Amino acid sequence: MTVAYIGEPISRVDGRAKVTGQAKYAGEPTVANLVYGCVVSSTIATGTIRSIATADALAVPGVLNVLTHENSPLPVTKRNFVDEAGSPGETFIPFRDNTVKFSQQPVALVLADTFERARYAASLVHVEYDGEPHLTDFHAALGKAYDPPWRVLLPPIPEPRGNAEKALAASATRVDLEYRAPVEHHNPMEPYASTAVWDDDGTMTVFDKTQGVKNVQGFLCSLFDCDEEQLRVLSPYVGGGFGSGLRPQYQVFLAVLAARSLERSVKVTLTRQQMFSLCYRPFAWQRVALGATRDGRLEALIHESIQNTSRYEHYCESTVHWSAMLYQCDNVKVSFKLAQLDLTAPADMRAPGAAWGLFALESAMDELAVELKIDPLELRLKNYAERDQNRNVPFSSKAMRECYRQGAERFGWSRRNPQPRSVRRGGALVGLGMASGVWEAPQLMASARAVLTLDGMLTVSSATADIGTGTYTIMTQIAAEALGSPMDKVRFELGDSSLPKAPVEGGSFTASTVGPAVQAACGKVRDQLFGLAKRMPRSPFAGARPDEVVFENCYVRLRKDPSRAVSFAEAMRNSMVNEVEGDASTGPSPKQNGYGTYAHSAVFAEVHVDEDLGTIHVVRAVNALAAGRVLNPKTARSQVLGGLVWGIGMALEEESVIDQRFGRFMNHSLGEYHVPVNADIRDLEVIFVDERDDIVNPLGAKGVGEIGLVGVAAAIANAVFNATGKRIRELPITLDKLM
């Protein structure tokens, strides 16, 4: 039988390269005659630049130039760029004019022959501003919220069902609550960097930290009015992205701008502080109102959200969509509005929309359970939706009941005491909480190429990315199984704009999007090999059908008599073929249109709260997921563990704090922006609930990146209430809010 690789807990194929330092990131290519760029950032939030004095910087030995809006060599182009992950509005491009749109906006780029000289010279650039009053206080802007133009990337806001306001007023039990969430910044280990390598013929190779090389290539080609053959983008390794790399960031534009200006190779790397001048998860104000019968049947659900955007872009998220589809309810109304602030634009951050939306919804469900004196898990089961409520279609699969059952059993939910402050252990108040999770499981269009050479090496390629999720590994597994090649005879290539087209890596859709294309491309190689084997003299496959053979360990074998076999190399040599190539493009099938495709989860958490100090420890958590076919339990478990850790950070630690006087994020370092460390993490457990889905995509996989995070913060917040009797509706839950 063919060796099965899909579903096996195989270690990362790129692991050795990463731990030995052989993996090179965007700021690490060895390039001769390299120029270093250092960004000068604005010190005001809004206004105009009156003057930029660069003479002192230019006088430093080794400084080649200082680029600003006054001398920016950006060519005039009329080409339009369609950003795959973009929002309606204006794409921010540095140095277009003297306008300052946000604090830490890049206003100059110092170019020197060493990084140290560039950094020192940057400190000598003197900028004078005409500042204007700024608005960076989200709560002060709530009264100016508006209905935004919607992102093409997202499904539309669900239409109202029934009459939610009337049903709420008539409900026997009601909760009507507000929840608030702060800005969170992407903080991947690898800062943003780009190295633009200049060729004498005017072509350029750009090493960029990105989650979409094709998207960056399109961005640069449209701005600099060049063809794709003139500009190649590479990103073979990414040290974390979390959505921040879905869109081109400004350092890649600056690196290419400088390289074209100097006709030399240029590297631009951002500091950790400058990383806070990029995208982030936006502020969120939410209202959730629930009405129910006395036995807990939902009769009304209202979910309103206001989030912030910039002055130049209308960034939207699917924050309220989940509330309209997750539970059975006939009277539902949701709305989403934006409030503009003088900040850089927000952007997609792991589980965009759902991270904040489900915190509010699942906290409100817990509060309703308290009012009804019903177990929170029982309340969710009582309102379990058998169909996608937004579209009124069946689910392609939904094993959420099993998530509840298995998660509750492993966690010991039945032992929970519903009375707050009733359990103490070792001087701490003990609380248990739970929440539901849901995330979409889409399949997009993607292409792949597979090439088998005479030495038995199978090279498969697609212009996707690996941001640490294990794309290299699972695509290698899919290819190896599809062709019957050993894993060590398969090489997967990604992160190169010259490879077959693939979308940006995000939204938990990469496995379900690129995987089928890889499978199909290998299938075409397989078909050709079978044809070559049948043409051999005295072929054991004469008259055999494709389903009567198996491909195993670089051999084609007759299924009923495996001893009758032909090696891949023999079949190719007989026809004097040095390589066999297969190209394939795949996308969603029409049958998927009639189904809701989602991954689901149930999260359970136990917290210990020091009664005197208010400190909180998440001592254990269980996340039970139904995510279709799990392609690699080892890498998938890592993804979910990362989601649990991040959820702990969301609930208890992460918050970007603005000094309203300056309109600037002040805790812009990892010393002041708090994330969980080893001491914060105790017993975390992941359960993959068996779920077969023949509709969602040919692999039956749903992705685990986002579903591992959603619901975690709500479960922790609910546990904190169970421990203390205090309901904290504003994240993060810090000790000052409990005292």
pLDDT in tens, 245-293: 999 999 999 999 999 999 999 999 999 999 999 999 999 999 999 999 9
The domain defined by 15-21+443-587 carries CATH number 3.30.365.10: yes
pLDDT in tens, 316-332: 999 999 999 999 999 99
The domain defined by 394-432+598-739 carries CATH number 3.90.550.10: no
pLDDT in tens, 156-166: 999 999 999 99
Beta-carbon contacts of residue 451 (< 8 Å; ≥ 6 apart):
458, 459, 460, 525, 579, 580, 581, 582
Q: What residue spans of 458-509 are helical by DSSP H?
A: 471-483
Beta-carbon contacts of residue 308 (< 8 Å; ≥ 6 apart):
138, 141, 282, 283, 338, 339, 340, 341, 343, 346
Asked if residue 444 has pLDDT above 90, the reply is: yes
Active site residue 654: no
E strands along 12-96, which residues?
Answer: 35-41, 47-53, 63-67
**Section 379-391 average pLDDT:** 97
DSSP class of residue 596 equals B
Q: Closest Cα partner for 510 from 470, 545, 544, 547? A: 470
pLDDT in tens, 329-357: 999 999 999 999 999 999 999 999 999 99
- Using CA atoms, how far apart are residues 54 and 58, in angstroms rounded to an integer? 6
Amino acid 489: pLDDT:
98
Amino acid 3: pLDDT:
78
* Residue 489: CA count within 13 A, CB half-sphere: 20
Asked if residue 1 has pLDDT above 60, the reply is: no
What are the structure tokens assigned to 311, written together? 């002055």
Asked if residue 637 has pLDDT above 70, the reply is: yes
**Section 416-436 average pLDDT:** 97
Amino acid 348: pLDDT:
98
Asked if residue 242 has pLDDT above 70, the reply is: yes
Q: Are 711 and 326 in contact (CB under 8 A)?
A: no
**Section 489-503 average pLDDT:** 98
Q: Which pLDDT band holds residue 155 (cuts at 50, 70, 90)?
A: very high
Query: Phi/psi at 147 (nearest 5 deg)?
Result: -80, 115
Amino acid 2: pLDDT:
63
Distances 685 to 161, 598, 623 between C-alpha atoms, Å? 38, 22, 6
Q: How far is CA 562 from the centre of its chain?
A: 45
DSSP class of residue 287 equals E
**Active-site position among 8, 653, 706, 730:** 706
**Section 51-76 average pLDDT:** 95
Q: Closest Cα partner for 541 from 514, 510, 574? A: 574
Q: Are 254 and 40 in contact (CB under 8 A)?
A: no
Residue 63 CB neighbour total at 10 angstroms: 22
Query: Phi/psi at 385 (nearest 5 deg)?
Result: -95, 125
- Percent of the chain at pLDDT above 70? 100
Amino acid 78: pLDDT:
75
User: Coil, helix or strand for 392?
Assistant: coil
pLDDT in tens, 654-693: 999 999 999 999 999 999 999 999 999 999 999 999 999 9
What are the structure tokens assigned to 203, written together? 């072509």
pTM higher than the cut 0.85: yes
Write down the domain spans for the chain: 15-21+443-587, 394-432+598-739
Beta-carbon contacts of residue 80 (< 8 Å; ≥ 6 apart):
222
Q: Which pLDDT band holds residue 309 (cuts at 50, 70, 90)?
A: very high
Q: Which pLDDT band holds residue 55 (cuts at 50, 70, 90)?
A: very high
Asked if residue 465 has pLDDT above 80, the reply is: yes
**Section 686-712 average pLDDT:** 97
- Using CA atoms, how far apart are residues 75 and 261, in angstroms rounded to an integer? 11
* Residue 383: CA count within 13 A, CB half-sphere: 31
pLDDT in tens, 189-209: 999 999 999 999 999 999 999
**Section 485-498 average pLDDT:** 98
Cα four-point dihedral sign 219, 220, 226, 231: negative
- Using CA atoms, how far apart are residues 247 and 53, in angstroms rounded to an integer? 32
**Section 38-54 average pLDDT:** 98
pLDDT in tens, 535-568: 999 999 999 999 999 999 999 999 999 999 999 9
- Same-fold call for 15-21+443-587 versus 394-432+598-739: yes
